[in-house]
Structure 1
Amino acid sequence: MALAVVLLSISVLLISPAHSLTCTSQRLTNNKKPYDSCLDLPTLSSYLHYTYNATNSSLSIAFVSTPASPDGWVAWAINPTAKGMAGSQALIALKSSGSLVVKTYNIISYSNLTESKLSFQTWDLKAESGASGTTVIYGKLKVPEKAETLNQVWQVGAQVANGHPMKHEFKQANLQAKGPLNLVKKPGSLTPASAPTPGTPGSPGVPSPDRGGQSMIRANVVGLFMGLVLFLVTVSAL
């Protein structure tokens, strides 16, 4: 009986990392039907669910992340001219007058966040609190006709003042929160460098079921599992 309990416990450990840390395990309440694709973003414990409609060049998204503090903010953006935050067109979820809302910002520079309409059309913007302290941004936006790849940026911050987001930290995880969003190929997980080498896991279209670090975790758990099984079999034979 004890042996069975130990083996069952280790089996749960073996399975859980792959399912608890990937977007495919998340359940979103606001969308009427599942999104076509989802992407495990490589930094800031963030995820993107999305559906691209090529017939009308529209993109439906649900961005999931955790604010840097309970009173902080999360943001997802498209940069039409560059790959970083400066110049991006952002959807930012924050608390304003006690309610969770989505505001649109033109990020002129890191020190100049201007609340304004974006350079592309948006609609159905909404934010809600998700599981385990996460915040979910829902929205639809118009993308350039026949676009295949977009420059996406995401971010989290700890403070909101007078209904506006304050500066985020400039740690490595924050600075690497950017990467391509491929609209026409099935996504894999992005790499922290945000510039995957063609043909390697993390490149668009190349299967990569594990987020950064999950492969190592799984390998370690497998090794532990096999070692313990061998030990228990040896003890039973004595």
Structure 2
Amino acid sequence: MSQVLTFYAQTCSKHIFSSNRSFGSCRDLPVLDAHLHWNYMPSTKSIQIAYRAAQTSEGWIAWGINPTGTGMVGSQAIVAFRGSNGSMTAYPTSITSYNPSLQPSSLSFQVSNISAEYAKGQMTIFAVVGQLATGTSVNHVWQAGRSVSDNIPQGHGTSGPNIQSMATVDFLSG
């Protein structure tokens, strides 16, 4: 058992990103085979993030911050998927209900440099987030779904890991 835990504990710190991207901090997330990498930039109080998760080319992933609560509803997210033209699509979206449209929308905080990639069975979202009104400690959520139809991510599972995908992270202290 300790060998398994050691393997997972090293997953995010050993990852090598394409295009010479590097991140000074990371956390293996407890469910959905997901990982969050970041660089906190004190001069702008913003965070450069890479959220990556195991996924098929037909599925989608999302990562977000909930500035007002701890769950999915109220989250400000970035969703990514392979579009019908074959290229990766990523954009911000607000989660306002348990049946969100996942359409592009503005967020309550600044987000820029959004991009995504798919390689070796993983999707990755890249973005710069902030300055955050809540400081460096935030409630974050992450999600994955199995399908996209007409360039719209479809629903995700409603039990097990899909409803456990939330935590708190402090971008300053890790």
The answer for unaligned runs of 5 or more in structure 2 is none
Cα deviation code 1:179-211 (max 9, x no counterpart): 0011221x3xxxxxxxxxxxxxxxxxxxxxxxx
- Say if 2:108 is the partner of 1:143: no
Amino acid at match of 1:51: N
Q: Show the counterpart of 2:43.
A: 55
Partners in 2 of 1:103 and 1:184 — Cα distance? 25
1:84-99 mapped onto 2 (5 Å cutoff): 84-96=71-83, 97-99=85-87
Query: Which SS does the other structure have where 1:115 is aligned?
Result: coil
Between structures 1 and 2, the one with greater strand share = 2
1:146 shift after superposition:
7.3
Query: Which SS does the other structure have where 2:79 is aligned?
Result: strand
Q: Show the counterpart of 2:105.
A: 116
Contact 1:88 1:107 in 2 (8 A): yes
Q: What's the TM-score once normalised by structure 2's chain length?
A: 0.89
Q: Show the counterpart of 2:114.
A: 125
CA RMSD, Structure 1 to Structure 2 (Å): 2.0
Q: Show the counterpart of 1:164.
A: 152
Aligned-residue identity in percent: 32
- For residue 57 of structure 2, the aligned residue among 61, 66, 70 is 70
1:19 shift after superposition:
4.3
Partners in 2 of 1:135 and 1:48 — Cα distance? 12
Cα deviation code 1:43-94 (max 9, x no counterpart): 0000011011122111100111022x43010111011111111111111111
Q: How many residues align structurally?
A: 170
Q: Show the counterpart of 2:89.
A: 101
Contact 1:22 1:40 in 2 (8 A): yes
Q: What's the TM-score once normalised by structure 1's chain length?
A: 0.66
Greater relative contact order (Cα 8 A, min sep 6): structure 1 or 2?
A: 2
Partners in 1 of 2:162 and 2:14 — Cα distance? 24
Between structures 1 and 2, the one with greater helix share = 1
Query: Which SS does the other structure have where 1:70 is aligned?
Result: coil
